[in-house]
A and B are shown apart, each in its own frame.
Chain A
Amino acid sequence: MRELWLWLFSFFLLIGLLCTLGFQIVCLVDLEFDYINPYDSASRINKTILPEFIVQGLLCFFSLITGNWLVFLFSLPYLFYNVRMYMQRQHLVDVTEIYNQMRWEKKKRFFKIANVLVLFFLSLFWLIWSITDDDE
């Protein structure tokens, strides 16, 4: 049963992460189509960046302590990238150059989403597995 809770927990973290990234991409797309101005767009995105980093870090930490090496390894590059950006103080989007960086910002987030999705399915799989396991 403990397995199940653990998986559920990471499952929710992943969903949270997906939502955050999705929100950021929506902001960027809105900006691109001129539904929102760069100030609002940048401040909305920036507001969600730290939570995103924290959730992601938590997920890594969580998978580490629970011994889910596969999940941990898989999210390690993402963590590393976040930490590096943060250290360089480049983690926030730059409102003045947001249009020029838009392509890269979007691409970056798509990669993150892809990474999270893989984890998401993995954990979904394990979640179901542990449920069925329990049953036995």
Chain B
Amino acid sequence: MGTENPGRQQFPARPAATPFAAAPPQNMMPFSSSGPVVGSEASGFRPTPPAAPQPTVPSSMPVLGSEASGFRSLPPARFNDPSVPSPPTSNVPPPVGPFQRFPTPPFPSTAQAPLSRAPPMGQPLSQPPMGQPLAQPPAPPVSFRPQPQMPPVPMGSPPQSVNYASPNVNFPYPASDSTFPAPRPNFQPSFPGYVQMQSNADSPAPPIQSTFPAQQGGYAPPPVSSSSPFLAHQGGYFPPPPVAAPMGMQSQMQHLGSGPPIGSIQGLIEDFSSLSIGSVPGSIDPGIDPKALPRPLEGDVERKLFAEMYPLNCDPRYLRLTTSAIPNSQSLASRWHLPLGAVVCPLAEAPDGEEVPVVNFASSGIIRCRRCRTYVNPFVTFTDAGRKWRCNICSLLNDVPGEYFAHLDATGRRIDLDQRPELTKGSVEFVAPTEYMMRPPMPPVYFFLIDVSVSAVRSGMIESSLTQPQMMVVSDLDDIFVPLPDDLLVNLSESKSVVETFLDSLPSMFQDNLNVESAFGPALKAAYMVMVCMLTETLPIDKLYLEPTWGEMLIFQNTLPSLGVGRLKLRGDDLRVYGTDKEHILRLPEDPFYKQMAAELTKVQIAVNVYAFSDKYTDIASLGTLAKYTGGQVYYYPSFQSATHGDKLRKELTRDLTRETAWEAVMRIRCGKGVRFTSYHGNFMLRSTDLMALPAVDCDKAYAAQLSLEETLLTTQTVYFQVALLTCSKVVDVPVTINRYTASCGERRIRVHTAAAPVVADLGEMYRQADSGAIVSLFSRLAIEKTLSHKLEEARNSLQLRIVKALKEYRNLYAVQHRLGGRMIYPESLMFLPLYGLALCRSTPLRGGYADAPLDERCSAGYTMMALPVKKLLKLLYPSLIRLDEHLLKGSDLVDNFKNLEKRLPLAAENLDSRGLYLYDDGFRFIIWFGRVLSPDVAMNLLGADFAAELSKVNLYEHDNEMSRKLMRILEKFRENDQSYYQLCHLVRQGEQPREGFLLLSNLVEDQMGGANGYVDWILQIHRQVQQNP
């Protein structure tokens, strides 16, 4: 297929793809080839060899076919044939460049598309495009002919001319004019195969000039604008002369062209991208070139254009709107089937040099709008010689306090503008004066809850599963608090006594403000306690009220809480529940106790981070609730073994304790009149309709919100958004490192991010300004929430449906003015949306059914994804796959090398060469895949003596040789770029089942796996649904 779009840069490279597309940049060029192509069907006519130079168009292409055709447009690019060397094809593009949208005049792309039909061709797929095709075609009896004909006709301008199609056969044309060659009838239709139907079949004749003739159906083409070439093509069959045949093959490519118009067209350049999908319904051939599909191999590229339009906006790392063009009416908003909203990451890590400026309005107090409480920002306007300012959100005129007064210059700007970061930067941080504090700042408390169950004792696993996590924890605990008594660690024989000892030691650790004297309560009293005691169950909330505090509770849970209040049952093993209406209950907390606790904890500003280790069912769905509503996070280490997972736990725990964190925060997103945030998604608890309570916020957490329009019609030109994060107490002494915030111990600050977005009346503009990263982030949150009340399957279907609706709406926008045929079109901004949609459906929280992911993993991944910032989410959905062996073998310097290393491969098993060594990195773990015939030297260097061992038991560590050091340096480098989680290395050898399957193969989202679609099928499925009438 050609994809059309060449544009996108993305692919340029791939040759295949684009075939022609680019082709001549503009019209001009004749196409070389011209090809007639015929498509399948038909005929294609000839190629007019003669080509007349002029215009005439070649074209021809009959393409038709069923839909396939699609193409239309495009001119001839084709080259096909041999004759033409086409080389070209390939990509040509350059010129075009990136953009091409297709419409563009030229023919860019397009053409190919048709391939579709290919089927006949044989291989269809692939080749289609280009030249090759020809060859292939096996079948076709026809033949190929050579090209002879084909001549390149330049299409050039044809426009005028008419082209006709030739209908089939020969004859043609009446029209005389045409250039065409009619005579030649070549066409062949060739193959039987095709046949397609076309109705016309035979006779073609008539076509007459005009353009298109027949069209087949469908698509007929284009209307051609005048000229156009195309032809109709008729039916196909015709036996045509062989000749044609060749083309036939090619046909695919073809496209019709439309060349002519070109010129004129230019004006019309549109901006959508398209993908040719040629398949004929019912045929087996997918008609799509997998290589041509868009893939985010560059990672998440932020769109700069918009940032340039509004230079005062805060950086997209803090706030991303799903579309930077706000619809002006509810009816327009309802046609935008994607979520309308924003993803906010208020404390995102800023690169050096771009830190958020801190502003201290010591004497004047923070300048805010009297009515809507908006903070002063770069979009406010000063009037009345600088004595008043107009709030950009509610338009109220406010007085400027005396201390803040400055004169305005001739253009109405304040003369002190350059000393006022709050008036020039979209993100600032205000130091809060005392009235913003409810009480003096205090240091936060870290409270560690460690599960010391005895289940392991009985099973004789105490050494391996229990003590180790605790030992790990202790290493960090040492830095922070009094060490845990040794006996606690050692004497695990009886849970009751252990727990009591533990409790006894707690008061001394937390003399400050937590009285845990009675902490155990009923759970502990249960004499036969065998498995667990969870402190949370009976945390003395009443005491906390007396002595307010804030902080973080870290829960280290090893087994299922089984006693006392909050006890949980084993569930999730029941295969029969899946697929029924009760399925979602498994993903909800089993006992309301957890939700109540979470609410209480939030109230007293304690965030909970849950660390779960068990290899057995721990009911993360219930435990995670504590993290969800307290702004915390869930870390899950299935089958924890300290020997392998120790590093990961240590690093993540350290990160948890040391990253920049704001405590006791509340966040509100204000926006202009007429729009309102109606729902919020993420880990927090709402304290009022629009106020999120966040006991702890840090740079690894993002929150999403959806907007709705309150008025049927917006009258303003611009909508402003302001995110204000008031951290009641920022803080404090995080023991391990002093970071920026903590430097001023306990200072309260308000971080404000402001952004503006234009209001538009045009749906196309909304699509153009869409941000697929933010959309995917919202989609993932919505889908995960949906799994809490519906079946997994329904969550996936509704996701797919929304994508289809959005693409369908988009297609309708352009269907009239452009001939879309069988192409799938999408805005450039949403190029990756279908792929991310697929990846989302196959992500851990949503994939498959019972057997595809353990319930705990599903739930913990769900909690994690609800909090991930956009970039990390995209990386998780479409991880990078990088080939390492070449880099390791090359002696070159790492520094140079690192750039190359970022060359990501599409996530498909066909890209794994069994001679290679690959790294799969999803931001949470590394998987290193050893090809079956990877040179033993490499394996030996990297693994040392373990190289022949079963890799599941092997740890990667540095060996004394260059290659191993280099690998470790590479991994280190990747880790540095993404520090929110520690990527533990998993090694897997090709063919080592089932590990290879669940570690890697099931994550290659482009491959078909089990019941899940591969990328090609997914696109075809979406495309088919888009084309169906509602």
Contacts and interface: CB of A to CB of B under 8 A. Distances in A.
Nearest to B788: A97
B595 A96 contact: yes
Nearest to B691: A34
B592 A39 contact: no
B689 interface: yes
Given A38-B687, A89-B592, A94-B595, 15 more contacts: A32-B689, A34-B688, A37-B688, A38-B599, A38-B685, A39-B599, A94-B592, A95-B599, A96-B598, A96-B625, A96-B629, A97-B595, A99-B686, A99-B689, A100-B679
8 contacts: A31-B688, A39-B599, A89-B592, A92-B592, A94-B592, A96-B598, A96-B685, A97-B595
B596 interface: yes
Contacts of B101: none
Nearest to A37: B687
A88 B112 CA distance: 58
A18 B99 CA distance: 65
| Contact-size category for B | 10 to 19
B688 A96 contact: no
Given A95-B599, A96-B599, A96-B629, A38 B686 contact: yes
Interface string A91-114: 010111111100000000000000
A42 B151 CA distance: 79
**Which of B595, B598, B685 is the most central at the interface, judged by chain A CB atoms within 10 Å of its CB?**
B685
A18 B592 CA distance: 28
B599 A34 contact: no
B592 A34 contact: no
Nearest to B599: A95
Nearest to A39: B603
B595 A95 contact: yes
Contacts of A32: 689
A99 B685 CA distance: 10
Contacts of A96: 595, 598-599, 625, 629, 685
B255 to A, nearest CB: 50
B479 to A, nearest CB: 33
Nearest to B686: A99
Contacts of A39: 599, 603
B536 to A, nearest CB: 15
B690 to A, nearest CB: 8
Interface in B651-707: 679, 685-689
A100 B628 CA distance: 15
B679 to A, nearest CB: 7
B83 to A, nearest CB: 65
A41 B598 CA distance: 16
A17 to B, nearest CB: 25
Contacts of B686: 38, 98-99
B454 to A, nearest CB: 30
Contacts of A94: 592, 595
B596 A34 contact: no
B136 to A, nearest CB: 57
| Contact-size category for A | 10 to 19
B495 to A, nearest CB: 29
Contacts, number: 32
Contacts of B688: 31, 34, 37-38
A117 to B, nearest CB: 29
Interface of A: 31-32, 34, 37-39, 42, 89, 92, 94-100
A95 B596 contact: yes
Q: Which 5 A-B pairs have the closest CB atoms?
A: A34-B688, A95-B599, A99-B686, A96-B629, A96-B595
Nearest to A100: B679
Nearest to A94: B595
Contacts of A31: 688
Nearest to B680: A99
Interface string B975-992: 000000000000000000
A38 B686 CA distance: 8
Nearest to B685: A96
Contacts of A97: 595
**Which of A32, A92, A96, A99 is the most central at the interface, judged by chain B CB atoms within 10 Å of its CB?**
A96
Contacts of B625: 96
Contacts of B629: 96
Interface string B868-884: 00000000000000000
Contacts of B689: 32, 34, 99
Nearest to A98: B686
Contacts of A99: 686, 689
A78 B318 CA distance: 48
A128 to B, nearest CB: 44
A85 to B, nearest CB: 13
A10 to B, nearest CB: 33
Contacts of B598: 96
Nearest to B592: A89
A99 B688 CA distance: 8
B878 to A, nearest CB: 30
A47 B685 CA distance: 22
Contacts of A98: 686
Nearest to A34: B688
Contacts of B592: 89, 92, 94
A27 B679 CA distance: 20
Interface string B592-636: 100110110001000000000000000000000100010000000
A32 B690 CA distance: 10
B138 to A, nearest CB: 59
B436 to A, nearest CB: 18
B683 to A, nearest CB: 11
A34 B689 CA distance: 7
A115 to B, nearest CB: 26
A1 B409 CA distance: 89
A34 B686 CA distance: 11
A98 B689 CA distance: 10
B691 to A, nearest CB: 8
A42 B688 CA distance: 12
Nearest to B600: A39
B545 to A, nearest CB: 12
A97 B788 CA distance: 12
A32 B625 CA distance: 24
A3 B590 CA distance: 48
A56 B603 CA distance: 34
Contacts of A92: 592
A42 B689 CA distance: 14
Contacts of B599: 38-39, 42, 95-96
B666 to A, nearest CB: 12
A18 B616 CA distance: 49
Nearest to A36: B688
B785 to A, nearest CB: 9
Nearest to A89: B592
Nearest to B594: A96
Contacts of B595: 94-97
A100 B598 CA distance: 17
A1 B679 CA distance: 56
B595 to A, nearest CB: 5
A45 to B, nearest CB: 14
A89 B585 CA distance: 13
A38 B595 CA distance: 13
A97 B686 CA distance: 8
Interface string B9-35: 000000000000000000000000000
A65 to B, nearest CB: 34
B862 to A, nearest CB: 16
A92 B596 CA distance: 11
Nearest to B681: A100
A96 B687 CA distance: 9
A98 B598 CA distance: 14
A110 B629 CA distance: 29
Nearest to B596: A95
B677 to A, nearest CB: 11
Contacts of A38: 599, 685-688
A133 to B, nearest CB: 49
Nearest to A35: B688
Nearest to B679: A100
